[in-house]
Amino acid sequence: MTRHFLDLADLSGDALAAILDDALTSKAARGGKPKGLADENASLGGHTLAMLFEKNSTRTRTSFDMGIRQLGGSSMVLESGTMQLGRGETIADTARVLSRYVDAIMIRTDNHDKLLELAEHATVPVINGLTDRSHPCQIMADMQTVLERLNRLAGTKWAWLGDGNNVLTSIIEAGSILKFDVHVACPESLLPDPEVVTAARQRGGTVEITRNPMAAVADADVVVTDTWISMGQKGGDAKLAALEPFQVTQEVMAGAKGDAIFLHCLPAHRGEEVTSEVIDGPQSAIWDEAENRLHAQKAILRWCFGKIG
């Protein structure tokens, strides 16, 4: 059976734990090796990853590219605007064709349905590199960072301030599976997907939603936010005004635990969703978080090919 990595809710707790353990082990094994040098076991030697982009990317593109190289494989970048996909060829036909050329496909797209259709018709693993609904690869890196800094996930409290967006969807799904609590502070107009929240609660997860940022961060272990205006979004001025009370400031961080860490998937807009004092301060773990995209991506690839879990 082909292993797709589409949403965290599709995976068991054991599978997520195996991916995280592999990411931590792989990172430790790299030591100070040159980044272009393959891992000793080169476990995906001979494999090729196609990376299909319909949206801009820095971290996803670079970390997947370097990740497959360190695993002994290779990658190719495909941009929909330069493919027949951009001229009307169907997702289904694209999936069938790419499956004859490459060993796995990573897609970053604006429409979650395209990801699902690609996976339905591909005969090789398909990985969600971000959609308008979710961002599971990012949250694997976030959880790896929390394990490194706090040495635990279960029982921790995560506070999310801002838009109830795709990143939050994956955090809520992860929390309900790996048993950490998610407290969301957001405007009434930007709530998380109610179906995602309901499903998480049905799995036994704790998801609390408030309009009060200080209530959300009280005794939190992790404080997370994201850019307020994502790529291609319209209506920026109204959204910025609604989100202004949810900026992560030093005062907000002071409401969390003393050893709480701050996470942001980047790119950041200092002075909007977070102040410079926080994102560049001692509680910020964003550079480890960004690096861990590489290690988490490698573990996801290894899971897709049945090397772990």
Nearest one of 66, 193, 68, 183 to 131, comparing CA atoms: 193
* Catalytic one of 121, 133, 135, 183: 135
Round to whole Å and give the CA distance between 56 and 153: 31
Decide if 108 is catalytic: yes
Decide if 233 is catalytic: no
* Catalytic one of 112, 121, 226, 283: 226
DSSP-derived secondary structure letter, 162: S
Decide if 4 is catalytic: no
Q: CB 86: neighbour CB atoms within 10 A?
A: 11
* Catalytic one of 121, 149, 264, 293: 293
Round to whole Å and give the CA distance between 144 and 44: 22
The identity of residue 62, as a single letter, is T
* Catalytic one of 138, 144, 247, 283: 138
Round to whole Å and give the CA distance between 73 and 42: 8
Decide if 103 is catalytic: no
Could you tell me if 114 and 55 are in contact, meaning their C-beta atoms sit under 8 angstroms apart? no
* Catalytic one of 137, 186, 265, 304: 265
Decide if 135 is catalytic: yes
* Catalytic one of 3, 4, 108, 133: 108
Decide if 265 is catalytic: yes
Round to whole Å and give the CA distance between 105 and 124: 7
Which residues are catalytically annotated? 108, 135, 138, 226, 265, 293
